A and B are shown apart, each in its own frame.
Chain A
């Protein structure tokens, strides 16, 4: 039982390049989330999904797109990376029947130069 995994762990992009971050969970959770963490800012919600094929915007969605084609996977895309998107990205998931606990992945450290 791996929990929540994220790929890749580190990435350096040049401004304007695109990439996709992959989040996978093996707990059969319905809800999945993407956050970004910046120093002194805490975690801010980018997008989330309450089920396969559905996504919604969070607090800071601009510049990102997401897709949830399979229940266990949640992809975060950057179409044209900007230095302001340099951050640590965390994925999380939880059961629909429980508001209680989100389970977090280990994070992806992204640097955009």
Chain B
């Protein structure tokens, strides 16, 4: 069984400020972890993924996330927010076997103000 908890349904930051979106997971097997981004009226796009290699993962658009097994966390960060980062972000977990399915968190809406 696997689950994801995203803390905060909405996060507001100013342009240029640090972005921190929190994700905690639960998994009975070694997890693969993902962050997806959804812009308004669009599908989901993969930002980055952790697949048991380096614990600090870099993704697109300057985002990165760190896998911390002891804290069962996979928080998403970006040093400096841009207006174009405003979107909804989803954390997801899967197992590592071929048939594994993705379980998504409920999402965090990132609001960026000028």
Q: Which of A40, A43, A48, A50 makes the CB contact (< 8 A) with B9? A: A40
Q: If A99-B94, A104-B45, A106-B43 touch, does A45 touch B101 (CB 8 Å cutoff)? A: yes
Q: Mark B71-114, 1 if CB is under 8 A from A, else 0.
A: 00000000000000000001000111111111111110000000
> Is A41 within 8 A of B106, CB to CB?
yes
Q: Is A102 an interface residue when CB atoms closer than 8 A count as contact? A: yes
- B46 A43 Cβ-Cβ under 8 A: no
Closest approach, in angstroms, between the C-beta of A3 and any C-beta of chain B? 9
Q: Tell me the number of A-to-B contacts counted with CB atoms below 8 Å.
A: 53
- What's the dominant secondary structure at chain B's contact region? loop
What is the total number of residues of chain A having a CB less than 8 Å from a CB of chain B? 23
- Looking across the interface, which residue of chain B has its beta carbon closest to that of A105? B43
Find out whether the CB atom of B106 lies under 8 angstroms from the CB atom of A40: yes
**A-contacting residues of B (Cβ < 8 Å)?**
9, 32, 34, 36, 41-46, 49, 51, 90, 94-107
Can you name 28 A-B residue pairings with CB atoms under 8 Å?
Answer: A4-B43, A33-B101, A41-B106, A42-B104, A42-B105, A42-B106, A42-B107, A43-B90, A43-B104, A44-B104, A45-B102, A58-B101, A92-B44, A96-B98, A99-B32, A99-B94, A99-B98, A100-B32, A100-B49, A100-B51, A101-B34, A101-B46, A102-B46, A102-B102, A104-B44, A104-B45, A106-B42, A107-B41
